[in-house]
Amino acid sequence: MIFSLRFNNDLPVSEYVAAAQCAETVGFDQFWVSHDLFLRSAPVILTAVATQTERIQLGTCILNPYSTSPAEIAMSAATIDEVSGGRFLLGVAAGAADFLDWVGVEQRRPLQRMRETVDVLRRLLRGETAELDGEELKFSADAYLRFELAERAQGQGLRDIPIYLGANGPKMLELAGEVADGVLPLLFPPEHYFGVRPLIAKGEERRDANLGVPDVAACVWVSIDPDPAAARQPLAEKIAYYGHSLSPLIFERLGLDRDDFTDVFEIATRAGELERAADLVTPKMMRMGIAGRPEEVINRLLPLVQAGVQHVSFGPPLGPDVVRSIAVLGREVLPELRAVSS
């Protein structure tokens, strides 16, 4: 079974290094960092982490092909894979239209854009030419990486860097099941898994057998602390900032509407007002994630593991003290879930 951690890119770089070192010590397998606009750079963060860790895999969750060209995404992916000694995982997705709007970037035809993006990335990262006259991407015969990929340079067989697709809506979930090596579906709430998995499976019916079985990560939001009030605050802040950008499928599951988040998000984006926005997050909104003691986290996740989930991904904020929360998850939660899985 795979256990991973996901972070937003809003912390000092040194804190990611400390978090990754702790995660490696207590048995986590993967460490993912987002690349949201106007926060810290995920590729830079992961490069720093790569130099201070030895085993844990490192991924972006996610890079989008609107604000960054797939050519530059491939360059970053191959370079981080080199620095980390073959530990990189490439997470891509269409991104949040609201955030792209901040810089005047239109999120045109996201399904087609992501299909073509996965295609060119896979070829570039295999050391191939990625010529494509697509509906969204136009890559010429000169589109190839002009440096020797790390494993080939060392005389080893070339490793395919796994490409994960972040997906929320029904059609994107199907596409992920069809073309990606892994899937990063946001399970807000965790029970959303039971609606999401059949959509991924529908895409798998069209999947190239050579790709193998996709790694479907059950991506949940968690804030763990012995004090329930202390656990609530950081999760409420995440919900206030990101809740508006989720898919209609998630809102439907929660019995909420995007308009329910309008005022909360408007306050959350004002300088110094995030704590006040968190106070406006309702109990129904809080069901998006899990906030509380270790036993509460275990109880919410057990049904997923019992249903066959093989990858649980614990997402931000993790808790009021990130490193302490990682240690608690590793020592008290992971063993219980592993026992059920085995």
**pLDDT computed for residue 155 by the predictor:** 53
Q: Are 230 and 320 in contact (CB under 8 A)?
A: yes
Task: Note the helical H segments in 95-247.
Answer: 97-101, 110-124, 150-153, 170-179, 193-204, 228-242
Q: What is the pLDDT of residues 151-163, one digit of tens each?
A: 655 555 567 999 9
- Put residue 309 in one of left, alpha, beta given phi > 0 → left and psi -120 to 50 → alpha: beta
**pLDDT computed for residue 157 by the predictor:** 58
Q: What is the pLDDT of residues 174-223, one digit of tens each?
A: 999 999 999 999 999 999 999 999 999 999 999 999 999 999 999 999 99
Can you spell out the DSSP letters for 68-106? S-HHHHHHHHHHHHHHHTS-EEEEE----HHHHHTTT--
Q: What's the whole-model pTM score?
A: 0.94
Share of residues in the chain with pLDDT > 70 (%): 98
Q: Which domains, from first to last, does the chain contain? A: 1-161 (3.20.20.30), 216-342 (no CATH)
What does the buried/exposed string (b/e) look like for 77-88 if buried means 16 or more CB atoms within 10 Å of the residue's CB?
bbbbbbbbeebb
DSSP SS3 for 41: coil
Split at pLDDT 50, 70, 90, the class of 259 is very high
**pLDDT computed for residue 149 by the predictor:** 87
**pLDDT computed for residue 126 by the predictor:** 95
- Mean pLDDT of the region 249-255: 90
CA–CA dist 314, 322 (Å, integer): 12
Task: Note the helical H segments in 243-310.
Answer: 248-254, 262-268, 274-279, 283-286, 294-306
